[in-house]
Chains A and B, each alone.
Chain A
Amino acid sequence: MIWSKRYILFPLKLTDSLLQGILRVGAVISALAMLLISLFLIVESWPILGQISPVRFFTDASWHPLEGAYHLMPMLAGTLYASAGALLLAIPLGIASALFIVYYASPRLAKWYKRLVELLAGIPSVVFGFWGLTTLVPLINQLHPPGASLLAAILILTLMILPTITLTAYSALMAVPVEFLLNATALGLSRWGMIHGVAFPAARTGIIAGIILAMARAIGETMAVLMVAGNVVQYPDGLFDPIRTLASNIVLEMGYAMGDHRAMLFVSGLLLMLMLMMLSGMAGWLGRNRCA
C-alpha cells in the first residue's frame, strides 16, 4: 500500500542530509536544556556562593536567612531521615511485591498486581500529600500529637517510592536466565532457597540500581512531604516530631525570598540537584555494568 504514494523514495540526496540536519539540531537543543538549567542555577546562587564560604551552611547557628544565618543542616537531616525511613520500609515491601509477581502469583494474578503497582506509580504526589493530610495525619495525631511529623512523611514517601523499587526489581528478576532457575529447581532447592541463592545474586545490580533511583525520588520529593511533615526547622528527636526537608523549604520560602535569601534557596536547589545527579549517575553506572 505504500506504493500508492508518489515520491516515496525521496530521490534527492538533499532530503536525506536535510532531515539528518534537522534531527541533529533537535538533539543539540535537547542536550542544551541540561546545560541551561545548571547554568541558571549557578548564576542565581552566585551572590551567596561568591560571598560566603560554603562551610557556613554547616556551621551557622540557625536558619534565619533574613538575618544572614544560613544553617542548612536541620533540613538536610530532615531530608535524609525521611528518605532513609521510607527506604527502610519500601525495600522489603517492594522486593516482596516483585517476588510475588515473578515467582509466587499465578500469571493472571501477577498481571493484575503488576498493573495495580503501575497505577500506584501514576498517582500524583499532590494526591498522596492530600490523602496523607486528611487521613494519615489525623490518625497519627490520635496516636501522638501533633500528627504532621517525620512518621507521616516516611509513610507517604514509602507509598511513593514503592512502585519504583517493585518495577525495577521485577525487571531485574525477569532478566535472570531461566536456566539458572531450572538448575536450582533440579537441585531440589526450595523456592526461597532458589530466590535467595540464585535469583538475588543474579539480579543484584538491577535491584540496587532501582533502590538508588527510589532514593533519588524520595530526596527530591517536594509537595507530598511538604503537606504532611509539619515543616518546623529542627533536628527531630523522634518519629513524631515535625521536620522540614530541603525541597519543601524551597517551596515554603520562595514566595517571599529576596536577594541573598533567594540566592540561598537556589543554593539548596543546586545541592539537591548535585545529590540526585550523583545518585542517578550511580544507578546508570550499575545498570550499564549489569552484565559484567
Chain B
Amino acid sequence: MLKINAMRWRHFYLDRLVQVFVYLAVLTICAVFLWILIDLLRGGFAHLSWNFLIESPRDAGRAGGIGSILVSTILILLVALGAALPLAWTTAALLAEYVSTTSKFGIVVRYSLQVLAGVPSIVFGLFGNAFFSIYLGLGFSILSGGLTLACMVLPILVSTAEAGLRAVPDSYRLSAAALGMTRAATLIHLLLPIAAPTLAAGLLLGIGRAVAETAALLFTSGYVDRMPGSLLDSGRALALHIFDLSMNVPGGDAPAYASALVLVAMLLCINIFAMKLVQNWQRRRTILE
C-alpha cells in the first residue's frame, strides 16, 4: 500500500514537473518572438517613412530608401511566379485528378518534387548561376534570379494545389460525371473554382518563401541597387539588401532595421492572409458537405 502511494506521488510530481517545463518552454518561445519583433520595431520604426519606401538607395544604402529594391523584388517575384505557376498547377491537376497514386508516372513526378523540396537554397543558387546566368547567358539578371526562384517554389505550389484539389469531396466529381460533363469541364468549371482559395493560399506561401530568399539570389540576380531598366538588368532583392547592409556596409544598421521591418511586415501580412483563406475555406467546405 505504501509502495503504491509512493508511486502515485512520484507520478503526481512528474506530471507537475512536465507541466512546468511545457509552460516554461512556451513562455520562452513567446518571449523570444516578442523580443525579435520589438527589437525590429525599435530599431527600424524611426527610420521608416514614405520617402524611405520610394527613394532609391544612396551611399551604398546608408542614405536614401529602398524604392528600386522593392521594384527589383517585385519583378523577381513576378518572373518566378510567371514561370512556376503554370507548371505547378498543371502538375498538381494531373497528379490529383488524372493519374492514380500508384502509377509509375505519378510516383516519379511526386518523388522528384519531394527531392526538389529538400534541396537547400544555396544549391539552387549554385545551379541558377551555372545554368541560367552562364549556360543560358542571362548573366546576373532579374530573369535568372526569378527563374531560379521558380525552381525553388515549384514544390510548395504543387503540393498545396494538389492537397487543395484532393480535398474537394468526391461527390462533386460523381455529380459532374452523372451530368455527363467531361473531365476537362469538371476540372475547369467545377473543381478549380472550388479549390481556388487553397490554390491562392498556396500561392501566398510560395510568394512568402520567394520574398524571404537570399542565398539563391546572391549569385543569380546580383547586387546592383539601381532601378532596373529591364528584366536583363541586375536587381537587388530586399532580403539581399538587408544582408548587404548588415554585413558589408558599416553604419548601415538603421536602414537595415527598417528594411527588415518592411520585409517582416510584408511576410506577416502574406502569411496571415493565407491562414485566413484556408480557414474560411475549411469552414465553407464543412457547410457544403
Contact = CB atoms under 8 A, between A and B. Distances in A.
Contacts, number: 264
Contacts of B257: 134
Given A96-B22, A100-B25, A251-B218, A119 B183 contact: no
Interface in B217-247: 218-219, 239-240, 242-243, 246-247
A272 B180 CA distance: 51
A239 interface: no
A23 B29 CA distance: 44
Interface in B4-45: 11-12, 14-15, 18-19, 21-23, 25-26, 28-30, 32-33, 35-36, 39-40, 43
A243 interface: no
B267 A30 contact: no
Interface stretch (A54-62, A66-74, A123-131, A176-184): A123-131
A273 B119 contact: yes
Interface in A186-243: 190-193, 195, 216, 219-223, 227
Which of A15, A36, A192 is the most central at the interface, judged by chain B CB atoms within 10 Å of its CB? A192
Given A227-B247, A280-B114, A30 B36 contact: no
A193 B268 contact: no
Contacts of B189: 2, 5, 8
Given A23-B90, A34-B113, A130-B246, A116 B30 contact: yes
Interface in B87-136: 87-91, 93-95, 98, 105, 108-109, 112-127, 129-131, 135
Main secondary structure of the interface of A (DSSP, over half): helix
B19 A30 contact: no
Contact of B185 (A9, A31, A119, A191): A9
Given A104-B19, A119-B271, A124-B239, A254 B129 contact: yes
A95 B107 CA distance: 32
Given A10-B182, A131-B36, A125 B214 contact: yes
Chain B: number of interface residues, binned into ranges: 35 or more
A29 interface: yes
Contact of A247 (B26, B122, B183, B219): B122
B263 interface: yes
A26 B86 contact: yes
Contacts of B130: 40-41, 43-44, 266
Contact of A30 (B25, B158, B239): B158
Contacts of B127: 36-37, 40-41
B243 A222 contact: no
Contacts of B89: 26
Given A30-B158, A40-B127, A104-B23, 9 more contacts: A9-B180, A16-B184, A33-B112, A113-B26, A123-B267, A126-B214, A133-B247, A191-B18, A269-B122
Interface of B: 11-12, 14-15, 18-19, 21-23, 25-26, 28-30, 32-33, 35-36, 39-40, 43, 86-91, 93-95, 98, 105, 108-109, 112-127, 129-131, 135, 151, 154, 158, 180-185, 187-190, 208, 211-215, 218-219, 239-240, 242-243, 246-247, 253, 256-257, 260, 263-264, 267-268, 270-272, 275
16 contacts: A2-B189, A26-B86, A30-B91, A30-B158, A36-B131, A44-B126, A97-B26, A104-B22, A124-B212, A127-B242, A134-B257, A162-B29, A220-B121, A222-B214, A247-B120, A273-B123
